[in-house]
Structure 1
Amino acid sequence: MKEKKNLTLNYVSVQIGLWTMYAPLMGYTSVFLLAKGFSNTEVGLISAMGCIISAILQAIVSGYADREKSKSVKSILTAIALVQLVLAVILLLLNNNFVIVIGVIFGALIALLQLMVPLANSLAMEMMNQGKKINYGASRGTASLFYAIFVSVMGLFAKGDDLRVVPLATILSVSILVIGTLLFPFRKAVRIMPVEVEHKVESKAFLIKYPKVALFLIGAICAYVGHNLINTFLYQIVVLKGGGSVNMGVCLSLAAMFEIPVMFGFAYLLARRDSSVWVRVGSVGIMLKIILTLIAPDMMSLYVVQVCQMFGFAVFVVATVYYANQAVEESDRVKGQAYMTMANTLGIVFASMLGGVLIDRYGTNGMMIAGSVITVVGTVLIFLSTTKNKAEAA
């Protein structure tokens, strides 16, 4: 049987399952947990703890996945997704009982979601490195379209204290991910290298080996702090501007819709300029979005601000996937993807821990002012650290 060379359609379902899961677990974090009786600070802590655990797991799992004798990325991703499915079912069955357990399970769901992102990215990059065609931008753009549909539909069903739509949406999305991953035709690459070289690669810590990448990751963390302050505490921002949960759903949907053209056309952008250019452009877009969110006077203005998603997060999140593949050696590529995702994960950690406390003490505007300053710093660091080749990164 002849092997398929273009795996874009196969990969689309993996991305749809992964990113639609962001709708219930990240887009509706505040709405769900506040309805269960948690405070803003507690909401932030649950999200932060989930991401801290995920960051630790990402380092462990990526180090394991890069080894020659490890299980394939496909097998690891499938196993984690099945655990996610079980936890989502338990969350649904608990309903409003055992509130502390609900908080723990929700944190675990966030942790596993973040853990799956670099594995899903590595799934595509590994096959692309083997000569298969995958339009990552188109796959990610399709996922954003389905995310937009998810958040819009969830906004209609998320009323009052009845938020069963959150675990139900999680179950649906993770089921799509499991099926898509199982059907994806993946083959683990065989990397043969001398024992002494393999030992040398393993013995040198990733961030020491690539100092410019390390600086880039600090900048990316700062950029993601700004992005995730808006996402995690969007409900509070919308309330400040005079809206409610339906308006929040519209904002999330608009942001996702604006992502789609850029993600579909990212292959064109990449053909015109190196990925190092696009990570810079994306960082500027993220910075502008939080600043404009701060100064937006009402809901209509906030709707308009969502256009920043087009040249901000949409560009940045896709560009970093390619940049991770470009800036490190072949033997470090899974770790490279993991560290890029870890930057987002740590961005969520700091955003969650800072955001809840800042809102409780200084209000939503105080939270966004702090986020704007952090994002400006991140943009500067990204401009200083981006490189076009592995030699400069190392």
Structure 2
Amino acid sequence: MMALENKTKINCGCYLLFALFFIIFLTIYSYGVFFLNSLGIPYSDIGLIIGISALFSSILQPLIGRQVDIRHFSWQKLLVFLNIIVIIAVLSMFLLQNVWCSLMFSVMIIVSGVMYPFINYSPFYYENHGVETNFGVARGFGSLSFSIFASVIGFMLTDFNVMIIPLFSLVSAILMIIVIHWLPYYGYDSRTKNNTSFKNNILTKYPLFTIILIAMTLMMTFQNIFECYLINIIENIGGNISNVGISNSLASVLELPVMFLFIKILNKVSAKNLIILSSFFYIVRSLIIFFAQNPFDIYVAQVLQIVTYALIAPASVHLTTEIVDEEDQYEAQAFLGATVTIGLIFANFIGGNILQLYDVNILLIVLVALTVLGSIFAFSTLFFKNNS
């Protein structure tokens, strides 16, 4: 009975971690451009702010992941520390001027990027210590939370000040600290305690993993451009901020069945093949966005979230756990998490400059090109065995 209660507690804790993290993720990645622009910051500067912040984050992610692998740091204490930084950053936004707001928003981007791989790996940590968990369900709670609050924030922004956006991050960070203290910590995995200060470069050690990283970076660049500049894409075809909320909410709701049933799907189709399948549908999705004439067409494109992001996100995490040794897992998951932030760098560099110099139509062409190139790398994984 005690083991069952412990399993329930741990799984509920992991679900809450994902749900709370994705509220922070939503406020930064889906409403960040809108938030900064509402403070009077031009799109080109927004692209620079988000791009530089994401660059720092993408550098820190594998460096910190490597140190956790080598020095056996507690991932839970690290998450508590990162959430405290989020709390301080948000409180500073309410007290100080607009320029300081942009700086603190930059800090939130960096911190959330560093958090991401440790949130992602949390179910596998408990799995490695004998507790049955389900990453797909945990990730599904993240999507459910994203869906609910994407709609809530979208509608609230029609009546309230934009400062409600970081307010949601503040509450989420406080609650996440409480959840982390509630979850047990079993120490570092005993199978890796003989690690030394030397580790091989995992990018050369696992060539299949490196190819996956390239494909994921391209797809996450598409995903980030689309999410960060969705307001511009929708306004270009006659929509407004409420359509953005509906669109984000729709995509997240449709992720849920795939996330909750992912383990069953994985029993039928390998993680590698799921990545290849999703890459094909990314091309289809980008073409629908390119030819969209009204907000409803964007909603149609969002339906394909089921077979694009909803598949590729958990499949890439599972494939990483399959092909990378346990001693390299935190660093590998950090590299995988960095594909989101590297994608964010490219997204804001490309998106900010295109919108400043050209128009949304050029941005849509870039979206199609990214999915085609990403698919080429995804299909190239067929030439590798999982143990390569």
> How does the TM-score come out when normalised to structure 2?
0.94
Matches within 5 A, 1:85-234: 85-94=87-96, 97=97, 99-159=98-158, 162-191=161-190, 198=196, 202-234=198-230
Deviation at 1:337, TM superposition (A): 0.7
RMSD, aligned α-carbons: 2.0
Equivalent residue, structure 1, for 2:380: 384
On the 8 A contact 2:208/2:386 being kept in 1, the answer is no
State which drifts further: 350-359 or 1-10. Answer: 1-10
Equivalent residue, structure 2, for 1:330: 326
Which deviations, in whole Å up to 9, do the C-alpha atoms of 1:205-255 show, x marking residues without a partner?
111111221122111111111111100101101100101111111111111
Equivalent residue, structure 2, for 1:279: 275
In the alignment, the residues of structure 1 paired with residue 278 and residue 62 of structure 2 have an alpha-carbon distance, to the nearest angstrom, of 25
Equivalent residue, structure 2, for 1:79: 81
Secondary structure at the residue paired with 2:359? Answer: helix
Deviation at 1:177, TM superposition (A): 1.9
Identity, % of aligned positions = 24
On the 8 A contact 2:75/2:118 being kept in 1, the answer is yes
Equivalent residue, structure 1, for 2:341: 345
Which deviations, in whole Å up to 9, do the C-alpha atoms of 1:11-63 show, x marking residues without a partner?
11100111111221111111111111111111111111111111111022101
Deviation at 1:390, TM superposition (A): 4.9
In the alignment, the residues of structure 2 paired with residue 82 and residue 135 of structure 1 have an alpha-carbon distance, to the nearest angstrom, of 28
Equivalent residue, structure 2, for 1:58: 61
> How does the TM-score come out when normalised to structure 1?
0.92
Q: Unaligned regions of 5+ residues in structure 2, if any? A: none
Equivalent residue, structure 2, for 1:34: 37
- Amino acid corresponding to residue 82 of structure 1 in structure 2: I
Residues 1:194 and 1:223: Cα distance change in structure 2 (over 3 Å)? closer
- Amino acid corresponding to residue 245 of structure 1 in structure 2: I
Residues 1:193 and 1:295: Cα distance change in structure 2 (over 3 Å)? closer
Residues 1:300 and 1:389: Cα distance change in structure 2 (over 3 Å)? same
Q: Unaligned regions of 5+ residues in structure 1, if any? A: none
Residues 1:66 and 1:44: Cα distance change in structure 2 (over 3 Å)? same
Aligned residue pairs, count = 385
| Residue 250 of structure 1 pairs with residue 246 of structure 2 | yes
Residues 1:24 and 1:192: Cα distance change in structure 2 (over 3 Å)? closer
In the alignment, the residues of structure 1 paired with residue 192 and residue 67 of structure 2 have an alpha-carbon distance, to the nearest angstrom, of 17
In the alignment, the residues of structure 2 paired with residue 194 and residue 234 of structure 1 have an alpha-carbon distance, to the nearest angstrom, of 46
Deviation at 1:125, TM superposition (A): 1.2
In the alignment, the residues of structure 2 paired with residue 194 and residue 224 of structure 1 have an alpha-carbon distance, to the nearest angstrom, of 34
On the 8 A contact 1:237/1:364 being kept in 2, the answer is yes
Deviation at 1:161, TM superposition (A): 8.3
Deviation at 1:193, TM superposition (A): 6.6
